[in-house]
Structure 1
Amino acid sequence: METRARTLVKSVLWTLLGLVVMIGVGFAFTGSLMVGGGMAAINAALGFVTYLLYERVWAGIRWGRHV
């Protein structure tokens, strides 16, 4: 089973990667770093929580693991 600390670190790094990508996408579509950054921040917050919960659920599922 994966530790909670590992899940948290993975979630933070994934969120930062997504934040950078979303800032670029938001800027490309709006032409504004403020609007693109705002969109990215909201997406990052929602994505962080969703990914953290997703990983914890999968950490408890034994299917597909070799023990």
Structure 2
Amino acid sequence: MILFRGREAHSRSFAKAVSWRILGSFDTFLLSWFFTGSPKAAGAIAISEVVTKMVLYYFHERAWANVSWGFAKDEGEAAEKTA
């Protein structure tokens, strides 16, 4: 698949997605608790968004892995192009 020809292993993208979701879910829980005043409601909100956001982040990362825009050029590569 063209979407998955990045420079990063699938396992690395998945690990990044999981660690980000843990942090993001903690944030969602705290904000939900603050706005609802209910830790039970906050937990339900935080749990319900975990899987969908993790999957979305994974595919987002894999798609960006195929975009070369914004990377610093390798010195050897730049020298080859000027020669």
Q: TM-score with structure 1 length normalisation?
A: 0.88
Deviation per CA, 1:3-49: give whole Å up to 9, x if none.
11110000000000011111111111111111101111122222111
Q: TM-score with structure 2 length normalisation?
A: 0.73
* Larger Rg, first or second structure (1 or 2): 2
Cα RMSD (Å) = 1.2
Q: Which runs of 5+ in 1 are unaligned?
A: none
Displaced runs of 4 or more, over 6 A: none
Count of residue pairs the alignment pairs up? 67
Name which structure has the greater RCO, CA cutoff 8 Å, separation 6+.
2
- Give the match for residue 37 of structure 1: 43
- Give the match for residue 60 of structure 2: 54
Percent of pairs with identical residues? 31
